[in-house]
Structure 1
Amino acid sequence: MPADRTRVALIFGGQSTEHQISCLTAAGVAKAIDTDRFEVYGVGISPSGIWHRMSLDEITRLRAEGRTLPSLDDHLPAASLVRESDGVRLMNCDGSDDPAEVDVALVLLHGAYGEDGTVQGMLEMLGLPYVGSGVAASAIGMDKHLMKVSLANAGLPIGPYELVRTSQWDQDRQGCCDRIAASLTLPVYVKPARGGSSVGITRVTDPADLAPAIESARGFDPKVIVEEGFVDSREVECAVLGPRPGEAEIRTSHPGEIVVHSESAFYDFDAKYLPEGQVDLKIPAELPAAVEQQVRELSARCFEALEVEGLARVDTFVTASGDVFINELNTMPGFTELSMFPSLWQVSGLSYTDLITDLIEQALARPNNVIR
């Protein structure tokens, strides 16, 4: 192996409901990363929040077994990233292994405590470059309400929605339901405002089911967003990359389409991650040239409006008349080899391995986000 390889801390797992998805993502990246250019040190965070140092081989062995997804436990020694005068090191807390110097972090955490700006803030304090968005963009991207407010302020098309705050729900549940019924047309989608991988989401077609759906979403986040469904529309997603080092152009992929066959009638957790044939991913999507161009332009505008860095997946609805509405932007999309984001770049001419390299190069070239 070359002696001057860039040293990468691959951080994955985490405490969110998307822990298992992050493990799948890490396994895919570990298998594909260019080991001639990068020396990888795994940092697996267990559901209890303990950080563990893991080898590349240990990460690649993480896989789904039927309907059981991989998860980490705490049998490995605890580890931490430590800032020293000459750089950042990954150390076992009990001193049982040689400290490993790291140059950049590849953060593959989904959901809370990873995709929401928290770990990004820690890495900023360490002075360690990292792949993906900074603190503010990560936090806004994680909060579906704040994201919609930001996109609307930027003049981007979004669908109708209502917000249910904890105080509102506690004081007047029926009033919340009445407000939603008056402003939104069924079906609606009830979602935790700060969640991912479609966990805690319910499609509501009967007004009697609205309150239970809100209660279900509140089990994942006390702040709930209710979105009006787009009937007879297509779910179209676009992958976005930040500019290459030294360039200014935000890059967009050919869009892909999600066709759902599951009983839930939307792209829920099972449809995304369990091998039951509940969805078809049409990559690239069959769209008129003008509609594809609109999806790509709006996706780039979303990326710019939220000041996203590195990567994002923008999810849109395309109506029967060809109008495009933004559903949401994901700052750390699913990143297994078969996930939509890498697959879109594959058909757009960028392999999985080269995509990983591109993201690390962006991170290393980007100035530290801290304002001094």
Structure 2
Amino acid sequence: MKKVGVIFGGRSVEHEVSVITGMQIIENIDKTKYQVVPIYITKEGKWLIGECLLDFKNFKNNNLKDAKEIFMTPSHGNFNLYANPEEVGLFGKKILDTIDIIFPALHGTHGEDGSIQGLFELMDIPYVGGGVLASSVGMDKILMKDVFKANNLPIVDFYWFYRSDWKDNNESIVNNIENKLKYPVFVKPANLGSSIGINIAKDREGLIKAIEIAVNYDRKIIIEQAVQNPREINCAVLGYDEEIITSLCEEPLGWEDVLTFEDKYVKSNSKGTKTSGERRIIPADISDELRERIEDLAKKSFKAIDGRGTSRIDFLIDQEQNVFINEINTLPGSIGFYLWEGKGYPFKKLVDKLIDIALVTHEEKKKNMYNYDANLFNRIQYGGKM
């Protein structure tokens, strides 16, 4: 039976959201096929394992004293979880567990942005979700939009700048924004999710205030042209390479300016139905023609960043039925299980499919050559002379 290490928590402002995602994944992994090893990264950056991590109540009550600190190595092919040498001593148990595949559930910084995916690549261990490139591009809203623009995918106009430049040239930046965009505009940290640090500005005073908030969360700030009276429609993609399918479309309800953190994670706990009492409508009440356009753009955006696993793509629809890609949310920032239930993938089956994709794509990677015998050492003299 393969052991799946589910990694969650992390040094991110989205720490608590990640814990919830990790608990959901652990609950829905097929226990007849896989043994779960929970790996929790604290807000301080310590890596812990232990049975106590399987109970969500222990996180609510901060009762994790029985968890043990572990270390991992980037050495190729080493999937061991090592104990803290200061705790086990000379003759203690040094290897606490060994895992076969990793299911990251880390939201935001250091987890969703390609950072930890780089560790998995060095280890050469199968892992669920997008690779380093897809994760980093999907996280950075500026690079994401540049990639979409290069692939002729529809996006709203935007402007971006560095935090350091804002401190020295804030008036010039505001003038540049007002010359390129019209109010209202969205102000966002380039590398963050869950609506944290995001605000809408309807005039110069609001713009400056929103930027002053955003610069606390990232060194890169993006300003986006707001779509007037938009509908938000979301659609997810599942698969890899050309073998991809789309989910049902959803329309979040009560979406006016921007969904807050509480809207996403506190108020919206239930599955959506076609009732106004829920936080979303699934499937979205849109025409077949619009749905097909959205599904096509969802696939193209997923392929444009070299996605794998699953990602949710958020769209904005204006009054003339023009479709704009707002952003792509790679796994684990969005598992979007509720979007897949109506397509024959309940949560447990979706988790199983994501693990299968990770294993298949890892086998595909083994076809690459990583050695090239050029006999270079014997053909060149020290100092660069042949």
**Aligned runs of 1:347-362 on 2, under 5 Å?**
347-362=342-357
The answer to whether structure 1 residue 212 and structure 2 residue 204 are counterparts is no
Checking the alignment, whether the CA contact within 8 Å between 2:215 and 2:221 is kept in structure 1 is yes
SS for the counterpart of 2:7 is: strand
2:260 corresponds to which of 264, 268, 277: 268
1:252 corresponds to which of 246, 257, 262: 246
1:162 corresponds to which of 148, 159, 162: 159
AA aligned opposite 1:348: K
Task: After superposing the two structures, state which structure 1 stretch, 81-90 or 355-364, moved more.
Answer: 81-90
Identify the residue that residue 144 of structure 2 maps to in structure 1: 147
Shift of 1:58: 2.8
Alpha-carbon distance in 1 for matches of 2:284, 2:340: 13
Alpha-carbon distance in 2 for matches of 1:360, 1:18: 24
The answer to whether structure 1 residue 134 and structure 2 residue 125 are counterparts is no
Distance 1:209 1:291, change over 3 A: same
Identify the residue that residue 192 of structure 1 maps to in structure 2: 189
Distance 1:371 1:305, change over 3 A: farther
The answer to whether structure 1 residue 121 and structure 2 residue 112 are counterparts is no
AA aligned opposite 2:209: P
Shift of 1:126: 1.1
AA aligned opposite 2:137: I
Identify the residue that residue 48 of structure 1 maps to in structure 2: 44
Distance 1:290 1:43, change over 3 A: same
Checking the alignment, whether the CA contact within 8 Å between 2:250 and 2:281 is kept in structure 1 is yes
Identify the residue that residue 330 of structure 2 maps to in structure 1: 331
Checking the alignment, whether the CA contact within 8 Å between 1:27 and 1:62 is kept in structure 2 is no
Shift of 1:295: 0.6
SS for the counterpart of 2:72 is: strand
1:79 corresponds to which of 70, 90, 97: 70
Task: Using the aligned pairs only, state the percent identity.
Answer: 32
TM-score (norm 1): 0.88
Identify the residue that residue 7 of structure 1 maps to in structure 2: 3
The answer to whether structure 1 residue 25 and structure 2 residue 21 are counterparts is yes
1:343 corresponds to which of 338, 341, 345: 338
Alpha-carbon distance in 2 for matches of 1:240, 1:329: 10
AA aligned opposite 2:29: I
Structure 2 runs not aligned, ≥5 long: 270-276, 371-386
Checking the alignment, whether the CA contact within 8 Å between 2:38 and 2:50 is kept in structure 1 is yes
Identify the residue that residue 61 of structure 1 maps to in structure 2: 56
AA aligned opposite 2:174: C
SS for the counterpart of 2:147 is: helix
Shift of 1:204: 1.2
AA aligned opposite 2:143: L
The answer to whether structure 1 residue 299 and structure 2 residue 295 are counterparts is no
Alpha-carbon distance in 2 for matches of 1:85, 1:204: 49
SS for the counterpart of 1:242 is: strand
Alpha-carbon distance in 1 for matches of 2:161, 2:174: 9
AA aligned opposite 2:320: S
Identify the residue that residue 180 of structure 1 maps to in structure 2: 177
Checking the alignment, whether the CA contact within 8 Å between 1:15 and 1:49 is kept in structure 2 is yes
Checking the alignment, whether the CA contact within 8 Å between 1:160 and 1:184 is kept in structure 2 is yes
The answer to whether structure 1 residue 233 and structure 2 residue 230 are counterparts is yes
Distance 1:323 1:28, change over 3 A: same
Distance 1:334 1:113, change over 3 A: closer
Structure 1 runs not aligned, ≥5 long: none
AA aligned opposite 2:261: F
CA RMSD of aligned residues (A): 2.5
Higher Cα Rg: structure 1 or 2?
2
Shift of 1:206: 2.5
Distance 1:333 1:184, change over 3 A: farther
Shift of 1:334: 4.7
Deviations 1:267-302 (A, max 9, x none): 121111123899721111111001001111100000
TM-score (norm 2): 0.85
Deviations 1:132-156 (A, max 9, x none): 1111111111110000001100110
Checking the alignment, whether the CA contact within 8 Å between 2:112 and 2:333 is kept in structure 1 is no
Shift of 1:368: 3.6
Alpha-carbon distance in 1 for matches of 2:62, 2:176: 41
Shift of 1:184: 1.3
Identify the residue that residue 360 of structure 2 maps to in structure 1: 365
1:39 corresponds to which of 25, 35, 38: 35
SS for the counterpart of 1:310 is: strand
